[in-house]
């Protein structure tokens, strides 16, 4: 298995890559980096692990719902902040899939808060 060194949100990662999978992996890295930087640049979330979770959820939602309407809308999961700029609850739309994503995000937050590390 080949290894590629990539950068995501300014941090370097060494990733394993199957032979012939370079282009697909680099495309995936570009999507993740773009999604994470977009969330970071919005200024509502600062913690790298929360940015990663929000980006992953947005990308997963895009993959599972590729209808023309969904492609033209804003990301489904967006972090909100309270008046002091601290992360607050993520607000779901009325759809079942958004409620499921919110539940998943809460479970991930609980799991990540135990050790403070994403991986």
How many other CB atoms are found less than 10 A from the CB of residue 91?
Answer: 11
Q: What is the rounded CA–CA span in Å between residue 8 and residue 16? A: 15
Q: What is the pLDDT of residue 64?
A: 78
Residue 95 φ/ψ region, left for φ over 0, alpha for ψ in the -120 to 50 degree band, beta for the rest? beta
pLDDT in tens, 53-85: 999 998 888 887 765 444 444 454 445 444 444
Contacts of 61 (CB under 8 A, 6+ apart): 70, 75, 76, 77, 97, 101
Residue boundaries of the structural domains of the chain: 2-115
For residue 14, list its beta bridge partners: 5
* pLDDT of 10 strictly over 50: yes
- Specify the pTM: 0.56
pLDDT in tens, 23-49: 999 999 999 999 999 999 998 888 999
Q: What is the pLDDT of residue 9?
A: 94
pLDDT in tens, 83-109: 444 444 444 344 556 666 677 777 766
């Amino acid at each position: 298995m080949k290894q590629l060194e990539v950068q995501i949100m300014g941090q370097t990662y060494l990733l394993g890559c199957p032979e012939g999978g370079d282009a697909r992996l680099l495309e995936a890295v570009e999507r993740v980096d773009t999604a994470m930087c977009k969330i970071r640049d919005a200024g509502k979330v600062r913690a790298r692990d929360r940015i990663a979770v929000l980006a992953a959820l947005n990308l997963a939602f895009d993959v599972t719902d590729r209808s023309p309407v969904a492609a033209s809308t804003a990301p489904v999961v967006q972090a909100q902040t309270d008046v002091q700029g601290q992360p607050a609850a993520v607000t779901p739309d009325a759809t079942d899939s958004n409620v499921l994503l919110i539940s998943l995000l809460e479970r991930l937050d609980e799991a990540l808060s135990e050790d403070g590390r994403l991986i």
